[in-house]
A and B are shown apart, each in its own frame.
Chain A
């Protein structure tokens, strides 16, 4: 038993649940949650999350803002969508966790640059934007070295064998990075996506600060 009993001394932010409902994508569906546990029970990461979605959602209701914003649950979600697909109440679990990580950074609770998932996402996105394709080698390298030169060398050496085998099986490309044709078109598509997102967010009463 690792029960979180309410401490009488500490303060609970009773407006937090409403704030989440208004500022987190899908947060307005949180009041549908009936605490059945199917989300946490379906999570492939299971015990590797500090709380898991069900507990996190109850903590939001309880107004435990600090614990929610600092939890690793919102960063460790791998977006497999199992919980979202199985939720009997239609709560968009994956979307809520993803959006919570964005607001946690915005609110100054979490340093996005320190989160492994953010660092990987940045590397992935850099390649996708630049070439229109992901280059396994460059994405991996960028991700490894995003934690500093020492970490980059250490991780690179540890995974050398896998990389060589991937090259052998032609799963990792060597030479100049491959690019898609007409990258200008991709740029336009991405610019349009940003425009739409900003417009939607403005309609939702907020602006994306990136």
Chain B
């Protein structure tokens, strides 16, 4: 109550990935009101799109399930999906935030029975599988969606198909008149957990992503290995469905490169090691080559690296490849110089996986807000003075899942401190 205005004890969390979810439940369980907004139709973010994750190689359904329970049980949490931040005005303790919502065309009484998907005819690229397969225009984002509610793609709205979808719903949950909207809320602190996106591998032109068949990136590899992915967990080549047994991983595809992402993205080394483990588990005769500059298996996971290093079917080649081209047999061929043996090589594979790095999400969240960002676009977390604008998870820099959760817990505490300090003035 510093300047006569009523200060707000509500915390806004922007982004419903693992960091946003963690910050939300931590702050709410400490007794604060929390509003969680997510621009896509479901919580879960990039973690929901993983097959398994570190440190214990669990399936993400487990961690998400626990956190969804914590959200459901806590009456201090309000979740808004398909909602993004418009304008932010005011100061710590007294922010006024305008939120914009996109139409979902499905009301809260949806029972997720799937009749609408059965009635829909047109298909769209499935964003959950990075467009590697199709989904119906009336769809559930994925099995672990929160809220567990269908979405209708705007592309079919206004067509007879939309009417058919509406007619198929037995509980009258389809609302074709759903419109974009906006509303304002007052909050005391804002946690930006806006996350990341994989670096556009097509920008590294010499690696042929999008041009040479069977050159994919690491997030696509994660979907290929997942039971709920486009191939039901069979790691096969996208071009002909052949089993991918001879596989190359190209580390630092975009990262540690002044022409792309100058920083180390931190997760990709262990990511590729994990992918190598998927392959070894699936195919006893898999042969894997990992091309690297340095292996940076950070933290407690050095042992995981050592285990694969001792595997005779996993080779580590110290080299940043020069190019990836289509070989005479049609297979992707990796060319470069082995910097240990000093030999020039050209090796063919069934599948080449580019270990692309993380860049700050460009989905526009907070772009209208004057957030302090570093030269790479990550939000600078304010450490020294109590500030109501706090970054959590990969919005603040490249982190893995467990570090994101730590960062989110810290952000929740910092938000509480910022509010408490404002009240004490």
Contact = CB atoms under 8 A, between A and B. Distances in A.
B341 interface: yes
A3 interface: yes
B258 A88 contact: yes
Contacts of B322: 38-43, 82, 86
Interface of B: 206, 252, 256-260, 293, 318-323, 335-339, 341-342, 344
Contacts of A86: 206, 322
The 7 closest A-B pairs by CB, nearest first: A41-B336, A41-B322, A42-B322, A36-B320, A88-B257, A40-B337, A41-B337
Given A3-B342, A41-B319, A41-B335, 10 more contacts: A1-B341, A38-B320, A39-B322, A41-B322, A41-B323, A42-B322, A47-B344, A82-B206, A88-B320, A90-B259
A40 B344 contact: yes
Contact of A54 (B256, B259, B260, B339): B339
Given A47-B344, A82-B322, A37 B206 contact: no
Contacts of A82: 206, 322
B124 to A, nearest CB: 36
B293 A36 contact: yes
A55 interface: yes
A177 to B, nearest CB: 40
A88 B341 CA distance: 21
Contact of A88 (B259, B336, B338): B259
A26 to B, nearest CB: 15
Contacts of B341: 1
Interface in A27-46: 34-43, 46
A43 B318 CA distance: 17
Given A36-B293, A36-B339, A88-B258, A42 B206 contact: yes
Given A34-B293, A36-B319, A88-B252, A41 B344 contact: yes
Chain B interface mostly helix, strand, loop or mixed? loop
Nearest to A35: B339
Nearest to A90: B258
A52 B335 CA distance: 15
29 contacts: A1-B341, A1-B342, A2-B342, A3-B342, A36-B252, A37-B318, A37-B319, A37-B320, A37-B337, A37-B338, A38-B322, A38-B336, A40-B322, A40-B337, A40-B344, A41-B321, A41-B322, A41-B336, A41-B337, A41-B344, A42-B206, A47-B344, A52-B344, A54-B337, A55-B342, A86-B322, A88-B256, A88-B259, A89-B258
Nearest to B292: A36
Q: Chain A, interface size: which category?
A: 20 to 34
B230 to A, nearest CB: 32
A2 B342 CA distance: 7
A150 to B, nearest CB: 35
Contacts of A36: 252, 293, 319-320, 339
B335 to A, nearest CB: 6
Interface in A157-190: none
A55 B340 CA distance: 11
Contact of A37 (B257, B260, B339): B339
A16 B257 CA distance: 27
Contacts of B293: 34, 36
B126 to A, nearest CB: 33
Contacts of B321: 38, 41
Nearest to A34: B293
Contacts of A34: 293
B163 to A, nearest CB: 54
A38 B324 CA distance: 12
Nearest to B204: A86
Contacts of A2: 342
Contacts of B338: 37
B317 to A, nearest CB: 10
Of the candidates B257, B335, B341, the one having the most CB atoms from chain A within 10 angstroms of its own CB is B257
Nearest to B345: A41
A41 B252 CA distance: 15
A43 B339 CA distance: 14
A61 to B, nearest CB: 14
A55 B339 CA distance: 8
Contacts of A40: 322, 336-337, 344
Most A CB contacts (10 A, CB to CB) among B206, B260, B344 go to: B344
A146 to B, nearest CB: 31
B293 to A, nearest CB: 5
A50 B339 CA distance: 14
Contacts of A46: 344
Nearest to A83: B322
A37 B339 CA distance: 6
Contacts of A39: 322
A107 B126 CA distance: 64
A36 B344 CA distance: 13
A67 to B, nearest CB: 14
Contacts of B318: 37
B252 to A, nearest CB: 7
A125 to B, nearest CB: 31
A87 B206 CA distance: 12
A158 to B, nearest CB: 29
B289 to A, nearest CB: 14
A105 B252 CA distance: 38
Contacts of A47: 344
